[in-house]
Structure 1
Amino acid sequence: MDQNNYKQTKTKRGFNYTYYYSPPAAGSGKPILFFSHGFPSASFLWRKQVAFFQPQGYGIIVPDHLGYGGTDKPTDPKLYVGRGLAEDMTDILDAERVTQVVAIGHDWGSYLVSRFLHYFPQRISACAFFAVGYLAAEGVNTMSLHEQIKQMVGYDALAYQRFFIQPDAAAVIEKNIDSFIHLIYPETPETWRNSLCVDGGARAWIESNKTTALPSYLTPEDKEHLHNVLLSGGLSGPLCWYKASVEEVNLAEDAKLPAAARDIAQPFLYVAFNKDIVALPAFADGSTKKYAKGPVTRKEVDGDHWGVMSHAVELNAILVEWIGGLPGGK
């Protein structure tokens, strides 16, 4: 991603955000695509989508979310409340005089797109979710669902989150950053089942400084970039996304939402990653069925959690076909 396309703005909440921006080609009539990343990837996650869509004339906005990259990195989980994060996104759009976007989320980026839809639906013309589906503001603490999910899928799918919220987690990860990268971006999905999804497994892996083969989609240069991006700002900010959920900082604000605000009227795309060990398609399918009231498209790719990178060609083809079928899409 061309560093010359990165810009900065200060939001009304007082945070400096860095984001990638490329306007639509003049006269193209093509929409602006808003790509929302999760943990622990920064705007770098979407490099293959930017390389595909920008030359075709689509507008592109890819923020480094709060805690990541060139954006501010507060360490108070209360600052990662969903409405606040959504407000920050509208400030970025306003800085570029963008009225509406097609919003696309992955991992925690899907959570942000969900809150964006809740609080500022008029700014989103259509929405897409990869791996992690739409997350309605239902007032549920994710951690309280651990046992229920374990019973449902047969293993402790969210075990790693109990490590991520520990006071020393950031320091442990920073000390053994290469081991962390190898765990989060494994060559085979089974690495997650055997370590990330075992109580104490993530800590044990990282503290022992264990490494494994990198997947083909993550080059040595990619790994070096991740290493530098994560260590330059540390992990305390990114881990606040998990702590905010556990500390229920969103509940009071989300409780004010009228029930109708949880329903999604916009055209809706969900792409399941069939080998994802954590974000199982069944979870997303349930929320789609319950809340998506407009036209729904469901697709799947045969990748793990990082299908955005490993199956970029296939995913980009799905996305461009779906966008082409939207009102005003090209």
Structure 2
Amino acid sequence: MIELSLTRNSFTHRGLTLSYLDSCPDDHDRPVVMFLHGFPDTADMWTQQIACLHEQGYRCIAPDTVGSGHSQIAPKLRDYNACMIVQDKVALLDHLGLEGVDVVGHDWGAILAWLVAGHYPQRVNHLVVMSVGHPGAYARAGLDQKLAGWYIAFFCLGGFAERLLAGKGRLSLRRVFGTHPHPDEVMARLSAPGRLRAALRIYRASLKTVLVDTQPAVSSPTLGIYSRGDKYLVESQMRNSERWVNSDWTYQVLDGGHWIPLEKAQELNQLLVQFLCEPSAF
């Protein structure tokens, strides 16, 4: 794979300075893929996928969600609502003069990707979602998903959760998400003032949006990817997302744990190339 030097830029939306990675900011002729990360990650998690698709002729952009990575911490809880964050992603496309792009998301980034495609269908050519299904499918998942997602209720305990997650006990972030491939990097990054609280706020601000509010189906060809070893999500909520796709639906299951872009980079890259560049391969 070629060496790739990513450019980090920023733009302003909602009065916030928001950061993003760009694989070739001066090339306006390439098709574009936008990568959306989840908790507790940043845009940097997509480095291997960006390098792969850049080599295939794509321009790749990857924003840091508000409060994450190099993006500014917002002052109010409502600033972290998933629908507000979706507007940030669309504002980035507007800032770059991009109309239709392919969107790839993992974890909360998958939820954001579903919402971008559902609310702004003209902006999404192809959709790739990993681990988390459409909000309608996630909300209807059974007791097994409620048990697997126990930590969500814990994360919503403002102040109390931060103290325990930053510690070393059974409810520390290192123990709760102990399967993350880079726990030391995560803990160091979230130890910066205000960063852990900011990262948790998407849970606290978005539960009604995901679990109660009705979200639209998507009209883009969609690839859903689930990993058998995911300890936080059950397969049914991804598999049943087909009901919210009014276009071609492709479903793939991989071995490995929750962090597909980090743990299964080579397999994921192959799927992305096939789905985006060689759709007849499926």
TM-score (norm 1): 0.74
The code of the aligned residue for 2:230 comes to D
Structure 1 distance, partners of 2:19, 2:161, is 25
SS in 2 for 1:33: strand
After TM superposition, the structure 1 = structure 2 runs for residues 147-162 of structure 1, keeping only pairs within 5 Å, are: 149-150=142-143, 152=144, 156-162=147-153
After TM superposition, the structure 1 = structure 2 runs for residues 141-152 of structure 1, keeping only pairs within 5 Å, are: 149-150=142-143, 152=144
Structure 2 distance, partners of 1:279, 1:110, is 13
Unaligned runs of 5+ in 2: none
The code of the aligned residue for 2:106 comes to H
The code of the aligned residue for 1:98 comes to L
Query: Does the 8 Å contact 1:25/1:57 carry over to 2?
Result: no
Q: Does residue 287 of the first structure (1) align with residue 241 of the second (2)?
A: yes
Structure 2 distance, partners of 1:36, 1:74, is 18
Query: Does the 8 Å contact 1:106/1:132 carry over to 2?
Result: yes
SS in 1 for 2:166: helix
The code of the aligned residue for 1:309 comes to L
Change (3 A) 1:80 1:5: same
Structure 1 distance, partners of 2:167, 2:122, is 43
Query: Does the 8 Å contact 1:49/1:316 carry over to 2?
Result: yes
Q: Which residue of 1 aligns with 2:189?
A: 229
The code of the aligned residue for 2:24 comes to P
Structure 1 distance, partners of 2:185, 2:53, is 22
SS in 1 for 2:66: coil
Query: How many angstroms does 1:301 deviate by?
Result: 0.8
Query: Does the 8 Å contact 2:101/2:125 carry over to 1?
Result: yes
The code of the aligned residue for 2:165 comes to I
The code of the aligned residue for 1:8 comes to S
Query: Does the 8 Å contact 1:25/1:59 carry over to 2?
Result: no
Q: Does residue 9 of the first structure (1) align with residue 7 of the second (2)?
A: no
Q: Does residue 19 of the first structure (1) align with residue 20 of the second (2)?
A: yes
Residues 121-164 of structure 1, C-alpha deviations (whole Å, 9 max, x = no match): 1111110111112224x9x9x6xx7xx733x46x8211111211
Change (3 A) 1:2 1:180: farther
Q: Does residue 128 of the first structure (1) align with residue 128 of the second (2)?
A: yes
Residues 26-49 of structure 1, C-alpha deviations (whole Å, 9 max, x = no match): 59x642111111110111221221
In our comparison, the structure showing a higher alpha carbon Rg is 1
Q: Which residue of 2 aligns with 1:206?
A: none
Aligned residues: 275
After TM superposition, the structure 1 = structure 2 runs for residues 204-283 of structure 1, keeping only pairs within 5 Å, are: 218=181, 222-232=182-192, 233-246=194-207, 248=208, 262-283=216-237
Unaligned runs of 5+ in 1: 187-214
The code of the aligned residue for 2:273 comes to V
Q: Which residue of 1 aligns with 2:174?
A: 181
Q: Which residue of 2 aligns with 1:318?
A: 271
Percentage of pairs with the same residue: 25
Structure 1 distance, partners of 2:9, 2:231, is 35
Change (3 A) 1:112 1:36: same
The code of the aligned residue for 2:228 comes to N
SS in 1 for 2:191: helix
What RMSD in Å do the two structures reach over aligned CA positions? 3.0
Query: How many angstroms does 1:236 deviate by?
Result: 0.7
